[in-house]
Amino acid sequence: MGIVEEAHNVKVLGSGERIIVLAHGFGTDQSLWKHLVPHLVDDFRVVLYDNMGAGTTNPEYFDFNRYATLEGYAYDLLAILEELRIESCVFVGHSVSAMIGAVASISRPDLFSKIIMISGSPRYLNDVDYYGGFEQEDLDQLFEAMGSNYKAWCSGFAPLAVGGDMESVAVQEFSRTLFNMRPDIALSVAQTIFQSDMRQILNLVTVPCHILQSMKDLAVPVVVSEYLHQNLGGESIVEVMSSDGHLPQLSSPDIVIPVLLRHIRYDITA
Express each pLDDT in 154-180 by its tens digit.
999 999 999 877 778 999 999 999 999
- Which of 95, 97, 214, 236 does the annotation list as catalytic? 95
Question: Which pLDDT belongs to residue 166?
Answer: 72
Question: Which pLDDT belongs to residue 178?
Answer: 96
CA 195 to chain centre: 16
The answer to whether residue 95 is catalytic is: yes
In order of their start, the domains of the chain are: 3-265 (3.40.50.1820)
Question: Which pLDDT belongs to residue 270?
Answer: 55
Q: Report how far residue 205's alpha carbon sits from residue 4's, in angstroms, rounded to the nearest whole number.
A: 25
pLDDT tens digits, residue range 251-262? 999 999 999 999
The answer to whether residue 263 is catalytic is: no
What sign results for the dihedral spanned by CA atoms 90, 201, 162, 64? positive
> How many Cα atoms within 13 Å fall on the side-chain side of residue 269?
2
Q: Report how far residue 122's alpha carbon sits from residue 168's, in angstroms, rounded to the nearest whole number.
A: 29
The answer to whether residue 42 is catalytic is: no
- Which of 246, 251, 252, 263 does the annotation list as catalytic? 246
- Which of 29, 50, 76, 217 does the annotation list as catalytic? 217
Q: Report how far residue 261's alpha carbon sits from residue 160's, in angstroms, rounded to the nearest whole number.
A: 27
Could you state, in chain order, the average pLDDT of each consecutive group of 10 residues for the chain (270 residues)? 90 94 97 96 97 95 96 97 97 98 98 98 97 97 97 94 85 94 97 97 98 96 98 97 95 95 87
Question: Which pLDDT belongs to residue 248?
Answer: 95
Is-contact 228 117, C-beta < 8 A? yes
Listed as own residue / partner, the contacts of 227-230 with beta carbons closer than 8 Å and 24 or more positions apart are 227/122, 227/130, 228/117, 228/120, 228/121, 228/122, 228/202
Q: Report how far residue 91's alpha carbon sits from residue 113's, in angstroms, rounded to the nearest whole number.
A: 8
